[in-house]
C-alpha cells in the first residue's frame, strides 16, 4: 500500500492543489461580487464567476483522471490509442478552463461597467 503511494507522481498533485485553491478563489470572487452587486442594487451577474469556479473544478478532475488513470496505461503502451485518449481528456480539460475564463471575464467586465455607471450616477 505504502509502496504504491510512493509511486504516485507528485507534480500533478501540486497542480491539483493549485487548481482547487484557484477554484475557491473564484468562488470568493463570485461571493464578493454578489455583496458588491447587492450594495449597488443589482444582482445575478455573480452566477458567471460561480460557473467559472465549477468549470475549473471540472478541469482539475479531468487533469487528475488523465494523469493518474489514463497516463500509466498509455506509458506502458499495452492499449493502442490510449495516448490519443490522454490528449482528448487534456483537450476537454483545457476547453473547460477556457470557458471558465470567458465566463469569469464577462461577469467581471459587466460588473465593472455597472460599478462605473453607479459611480457616475452618484457623482
Q: Which stretches of the chain bind another protein, using CB under 8 A?
A: 11-12, 14-15, 17-19, 21-22, 24-25, 28-29, 31-33, 35-36, 49, 71, 74-75, 81, 83-84, 86-88, 90-91, 94-95, 97-98, 100-102, 104-105, 107-109, 111-112, 115
CA distances from 39 to 18, 33, 46, 91 (A): 31, 10, 13, 40
Measured from the CB atom, the residue of 7 and 11 that comes closer to another protein is 11
In angstroms, what is the minimal distance from the CB of 39 to another protein?
A: 8
Measured from the CB atom, the residue of 1 and 76 that comes closer to another protein is 76
In angstroms, what is the minimal distance from the CB of 6 to another protein?
A: 16
What radius of gyration do the chain's Cα atoms show? 20
Mark out the alpha helices in the chain (DSSP H runs). Answer: 2-6, 11-39, 47-65, 71-76, 82-122
Output phi, psi for 21, to 5 deg.
-65, -40
Amino acid at each position: 500500500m505504502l509502496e504504491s503511494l510512493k509511486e504516485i507522481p507528485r507534480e500533478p498533485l501540486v497542480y491539483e492543489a493549485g487548481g482547487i485553491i484557484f477554484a475557491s478563489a473564484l468562488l470568493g470572487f463570485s461571493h464578493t461580487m454578489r455583496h458588491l452587486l447587492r450594495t449597488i442594487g443589482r444582482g445575478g451577474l455573480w452566477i458567471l464567476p460561480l460557473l467559472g469556479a465549477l468549470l475549473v473544478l471540472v478541469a482539475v478532475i479531468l487533469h487528475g483522471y488523465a494523469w493518474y488513470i489514463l497516463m500509466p496505461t498509455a506509458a506502458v503502451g499495452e492499449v493502442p490509442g490510449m495516448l490519443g485518449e490522454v490528449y482528448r481528456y487534456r483537450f476537454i480539460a483545457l476547453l473547460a478552463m477556457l470557458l471558465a475564463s470567458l465566463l469569469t471575464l464577462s461577469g467581471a467586465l459587466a460588473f465593472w461597467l455597472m460599478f462605473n455607471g453607479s459611480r457616475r450616477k452618484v457623482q
